Chains A and B, each alone.
Chain A
Amino acid sequence: MIVADDVLLMRQGVVRVLEAIAGVEVVAECDDAEQLLAAVAEQDPDVVLTDIAMPPSHTDEGIRAAIALRAERPDLGVVVLSQYAEPDYVLALFEGGSDHLGYLLKERIGDPDELARAVDAVADGGSVVDPKIVEILVSARSSSSAAVDRLTPRETEVLSVMAEGLNNGAIAERLVLSERAVAKHINAIFSKLDLGADEESHRRVKAVLTWLSQ
């Protein structure tokens, strides 16, 4: 695993949290995207955790690095850590496909369990979206269209959790439902929103986010 962040304090903290997680070994630390790309080529890690804003422009270097890495190594998982709660960054990150990619707000990383879940998810090919981003999208969608109103409150809950990247089993656990009930809700949501119902769980994240951001 490789960590990239230009702020030393942040990077050290992230490394300490990661090392507290069983089975994670940090093999390199980087200051910017250029170093990150070089280190990945050299170390061949399973997962990369990168800050979004790094030198030189301090804007979306992390996203561009993630997209470049993903094109080069389809099996590499990348989690982008961001201080920006803007859905558009997530959509930009997922533009070419959302598997093996995650977008987390920085405040999330203090929680080792959550971080471990994200790292595992992107390593397995899944997607991770910060709950705060999903919340922004869902509330914006509710104010601007009637489509969300057609969903029951339970379905809206399932939709949100699905957008965060959870698979059916994890959704069932989070919402205290049976997996069958979750599958039923998801079918209902997809037919109400006119989305393809047979999407695999990591691909449906992008479909749901795209629909929410319209």
Chain B
Amino acid sequence: MSDSPGFLDVDQRALDRVQQFLRFNQMSVLVAIACAAVAYVVWVDSWILIAVVVYESALYVVLGWGRRRLTADNLDSVGVWLMIANWCTAVVLTLAAPFTYILGVLQVLAPIIAAGPVLARKGLVRTVLGGVVVASGVTAIGFAFSDSEISQAIPHEIVIGGVALMSVPVAIGAFDANERQAAALRRALRDNALIRDSRSRLVRAADDERRRLERNLHDGAQQQLVAVAMELRLLKSSSGMAESIDPLVGELEDALENLRELADGIYPPLLRSRGLGEALAAAGRRSPLAVAVDAAVPRQTEEVEAAIYFCCLEALQNATKHAGPGATVQIAITAADGRLRGYVADDGPGFATAHLEGLVADPTSVAGEGLRNMVDRIGAVGGDVRISGDDGARIEFTIPASPLEPADR
């Protein structure tokens, strides 16, 4: 779901819930099979009990099949059909062997208790209502067709009412668990959104500061130094102090060179003025490795461009450190379907992927800091990073695109 990238996948959670629900359902079917088998061995040598065992075993298989077939898309329909199959079985078995009605009631009610924290609220209301009706019906069948003394003596309405009443605490328990689960999910989603917002605020503030620093260095300090160098040279031609001025000018030029490299590293002016493609190509040119850059994507907002640029730069620096001197690096970014997808891949020896993931997960690891930076930066603009080291090191990312209108520049 798009409002919770990275942290929690709501679809996956719902899927897990229904799977869990079906597992409980299968367990209650197993209990029914066991009861019928024990009854057959200990008390009644009847073909009906054998039929019960066969039927319930078939249901067990069907539930298992449905559980495996479940996906996020067919979740509702498959879940409902399996639940209905479960109820039908309880009714059919009670019709065949009225004295087993209590197994049927168990088979209908037990999944409801289990379903409480699992189902969405609307589904739970339907399940509880359906369950109460079916359980009462099963009891009614059991009593109507049973000829024991007790069942003749007690009015059927009272027993059916009793079963229906028995459903009340079951329903209350189920709804309570359901509400707590839903509240926990809501809290998790809200915290998730808060964390994401504060992370992107932090990254944005840091980037703004970088840009400010870069501009101060390029347009302030650097220009002043250039002006001083210029004055010194003018002084040189008019004062005849060439020997003492020349070394000063030389030193100033070295200082300018250092200053420019510093400012470029803080926030590359090319990124701001000409975008990702050229800024990454320039970074590739500065790298001692052979770097092929293919990043002809439309201009994006400053946050997205900075996130991608610094992520790629980090990956490039890693390649420089670890891929070996003869390695080549590929940087590619494409834009399609409202997303930017890209990767930085080298043909060096690579890493154990699990080792890299461990570095990212361990907040105290210094070696993982660069990788965590990438994950943080891309995450702050709503994207995901995948790291793999199996065939050379490869960093992949996808980010929701936020293209600039030409007028924004």
- Contacts of A56-95 to chain B: CB distance below 8 A: 57-60, 83-89, 92
Q: How far is the CA of A135 from the CA of B398 in the complex (A)?
A: 36
Q: How far is the CA of A5 from the CA of B270 in the complex (A)?
A: 19
- Chain B residue with minimal CB distance to A12? B227
Using A13-B227, A17-B230, A59-B272 as known contacts, say yes or no to A145 and B290 having CB atoms under 8 A apart.
yes
The A interface is mostly helix, strand or loop, or mixed, namely helix
| A97 contacts B by Cβ under 8 Å | no
**A120 smallest CB distance to B (angstroms):** 19
Contact of B291 among A87, A88, A144 (CB under 8 A): A144
B219 touches A53 (CB 8 A): yes
B218 touches A13 (CB 8 A): no
Stretch at the interface among B169-177, B231-239, B350-358, B372-380: B231-239
The B interface is mostly helix, strand or loop, or mixed, namely helix
- Contacts of B324-349 to chain A: CB distance below 8 A: none
A107 touches B237 (CB 8 A): no
Contact of A9 among B224, B264, B273, B409 (CB under 8 A): B224
| A10 contacts B by Cβ under 8 Å | yes
Q: How far is the CA of A5 from the CA of B19 in the complex (A)?
A: 69
**A116 smallest CB distance to B (angstroms):** 13
**Interface size (A, Cβ < 8 Å)?**
34
Using A7-B223, A84-B269, A110-B249 as known contacts, say yes or no to A58 and B215 having CB atoms under 8 A apart.
yes
| A203 contacts B by Cβ under 8 Å | no
| B226 contacts A by Cβ under 8 Å | yes
Interface string of B207-226 (1 = CB under 8 A from A): 00000000100110011101
Q: How far is the CA of A145 from the CA of B285 in the complex (A)?
A: 11
Interface string of B121-163 (1 = CB under 8 A from A): 0000000000000000000000000000000000000000000
- Contacts of B273-294 to chain A: CB distance below 8 A: 273-274, 278, 281-282, 284-291
Interface centre among A14, A20, A83, A144 (most CB of B within 10 A): A83
Q: How far is the CA of A29 from the CA of B281 in the complex (A)?
A: 35
- Chain A residue with minimal CB distance to B269? A84
A88 touches B226 (CB 8 A): no
B237 touches A10 (CB 8 A): no
A89 touches B270 (CB 8 A): yes
- Chain A residue with minimal CB distance to B253? A107
A83 touches B229 (CB 8 A): no
Q: How far is the CA of A87 from the CA of B200 in the complex (A)?
A: 32
| A180 contacts B by Cβ under 8 Å | no
Q: Please tell me the size bucket of the interface on B.
A: 35 or more
| B256 contacts A by Cβ under 8 Å | yes
Contact of B285 among A106, A107, A112, A137 (CB under 8 A): A137
**A194 smallest CB distance to B (angstroms):** 19
B237 touches A136 (CB 8 A): no
| B260 contacts A by Cβ under 8 Å | yes
Interface centre among B232, B260, B287 (most CB of A within 10 A): B260
Interface string of B45-76 (1 = CB under 8 A from A): 00000000000000000000000000000000
A140 touches B285 (CB 8 A): yes
- Chain A residue with minimal CB distance to B268? A86
- Chain B residue with minimal CB distance to A53? B219
| A42 contacts B by Cβ under 8 Å | no
Across-interface contacts of B231 in A (CB, < 8 A): 13
A143 touches B219 (CB 8 A): no
Q: How far is the CA of A86 from the CA of B269 in the complex (A)?
A: 9
Interface centre among A17, A84, A109 (most CB of B within 10 A): A84
Contact of A88 among B230, B253, B274, B290 (CB under 8 A): B274
Using A83-B222, A137-B285 as known contacts, say yes or no to A107 and B274 having CB atoms under 8 A apart.
no
B249 touches A140 (CB 8 A): no
- Chain A residue with minimal CB distance to B288? A143
Across-interface contacts of B409 in A (CB, < 8 A): 57
Interface string of A25-59 (1 = CB under 8 A from B): 00000000000000000000000000001000111
| A198 contacts B by Cβ under 8 Å | no
A107 touches B290 (CB 8 A): no
A60 touches B273 (CB 8 A): yes
A143 touches B218 (CB 8 A): no
Contact of B218 among A14, A57, A84, A145 (CB under 8 A): A84
Using A58-B219, A106-B223, A143-B289 as known contacts, say yes or no to A85 and B260 having CB atoms under 8 A apart.
yes
Across-interface contacts of B269 in A (CB, < 8 A): 53, 59, 84, 86
Q: How far is the CA of A84 from the CA of B234 in the complex (A)?
A: 24
| A117 contacts B by Cβ under 8 Å | no
**B232 smallest CB distance to A (angstroms):** 7
A110 touches B290 (CB 8 A): no
A87 touches B272 (CB 8 A): no
- Contacts of A128-171 to chain B: CB distance below 8 A: 136-137, 140, 143-145
- Contacts of B168-217 to chain A: CB distance below 8 A: 215
Across-interface contacts of A106 in B (CB, < 8 A): 222-223, 226
A143 touches B230 (CB 8 A): no
Using A84-B218, A87-B282 as known contacts, say yes or no to A110 and B274 having CB atoms under 8 A apart.
no
Known A112-B233, A144-B290; further 10 A-B contacts with Cβ < 8 A: A7-B227, A13-B230, A13-B231, A17-B233, A84-B269, A86-B269, A112-B237, A137-B285, A143-B288, A213-B285
Sort A-B residue pairs by CB-CB distance and give the 8 closest, nearest first.
Answer: A59-B273, A140-B285, A110-B233, A144-B290, A110-B230, A88-B278, A60-B273, A13-B230
A-B contact pairs, 29 of them (CB 8 A): A7-B219, A9-B227, A13-B230, A14-B230, A17-B233, A17-B234, A53-B219, A57-B273, A58-B215, A59-B272, A59-B273, A60-B273, A83-B222, A83-B223, A83-B226, A83-B260, A84-B270, A86-B264, A88-B278, A88-B281, A89-B274, A107-B226, A110-B233, A111-B233, A112-B233, A140-B285, A143-B290, A144-B290, A213-B281
